[in-house]
Amino acid sequence: AQSVSQHNHHVILSEAASLELGCNYSYGGTVNLFWYVQYPGQHLQLLLKYFSGDPLVKGIKGFEAEFIKSKFSFNLRKPSVQWSDTAEYFCAVNGHLYGGSQGNLIFGKGTKLSVKP
Amino acid sequence: SQTIHQWPATLVQPVGSPLSLECTVEGTSNPNLYWYRQAAGRGLQLLFYSVGIGQISSEVPQNLSASRPQDRQFILSSKKLLLSDSGFYLCAWNLGAGANVLTFGAGSRLTVL
């Protein structure tokens, strides 16, 4: 069965520090990968996605993620975090597995990011 | 533009009582609809999805059920709530049979006492 692992439950950084949140998935076929973010009190929203092509994808607010197929990874990065990046971040994978809706996403458990001003 | 609405936003219910959470999508037709549950430290768990009226697929056996009486309406129900049903329930939608981005609603927080 597909699964998504996010290695860090809670990450605490100071402003301007660099960020890397790990995400590994288990599925051997074609995958689509996503990072979603949930700011305090707000909807879960898409940060970035990878469907095909350039494995380095750029999202909103200066975030990027790199798909490394050989490592089954899709780590999220940002060179310099801001206090406003404080949120919970979820990695998700959609494998071409389900006979029904292929829009099903399997989510990781999430990583809380706290940025100190 | 498309919008997704969930209600109620917050609900406190006693054990053994029934539940009905509603989700509606506006501005689109024949969406795929999903119910997820978000529990602290456990990420988002897909509960049900629907590709059309009356078509419900269950991902996890549980005390809950889902129905889709109309094209853009998705309802999560329970006849008798358990303490373990407490959580944050998110409705989401996307279009098509391919892998498309999910758009989430604001969520409904359920506390079972």
B44-97 confidence digits (pLDDT tens): 888 998 989 999 988 776 789 999 999 999 999 999 999 999 999 999 998 876
CB A18 within 8 Å of CB A81: yes
H/E element, A27: none
For a pLDDT cut of 90, what percent of chain B falls above it? 65
Residue B40 has pLDDT above 80, yes or no: no
pLDDT for A97? 47
pLDDT for B39? 80
Residues A43-96: tens digit of each pLDDT: 899 999 998 899 999 999 999 999 999 999 999 999 999 999 999 999 998 865
- DSSP label of A61: G
- Asked if A27 has any chain B CB less than 8 Å from its own CB, the reply is no
Q: What is the mean pLDDT of chain B?
A: 90
CB B3 within 8 Å of CB B27: yes
pLDDT for B37? 93
Find the CB nearest A9 among B41, B59, B94. B41
pLDDT for A96? 56
The answer to whether the Cβ–Cβ distance between A103 and B46 falls below 8 Å is no
Alpha helices in B11-60 (DSSP H): none
What the block records as the tokens of B20 is 């009905």
Task: Please list every residue in chain B whose beta carbon sits closer than 8 Å to the beta carbon of residue A36.
Answer: 104
For a pLDDT cut of 70, what percent of chain A falls above it? 91
Residue A105 has pLDDT above 90, yes or no: no
Task: Please list every residue in chain B whose beta carbon sits closer than 8 Å to the beta carbon of residue A9.
Answer: 41
In terms of phi and psi (left: phi > 0; alpha: psi -120 to 50; beta: otherwise), the region of B97 is alpha
The answer to whether the Cβ–Cβ distance between B32 and A96 falls below 8 Å is no
- Asked if B35 has any chain A CB less than 8 Å from its own CB, the reply is no
Q: What is the mean pLDDT of residues A6-17?
A: 94
Task: Please list every residue in chain A whose beta carbon sits closer than 8 Å to the beta carbon of residue B100.
Answer: 103
- Asked if A86 has any chain B CB less than 8 Å from its own CB, the reply is no
Q: Residue B89: which of B69, B55, B71, B64 has the closest Cα? A: B64
| β-sheet bridge partners, residue A21 | A76
Q: Residue B59: which of A103, A90, A86 has the closest Cα? A: A103
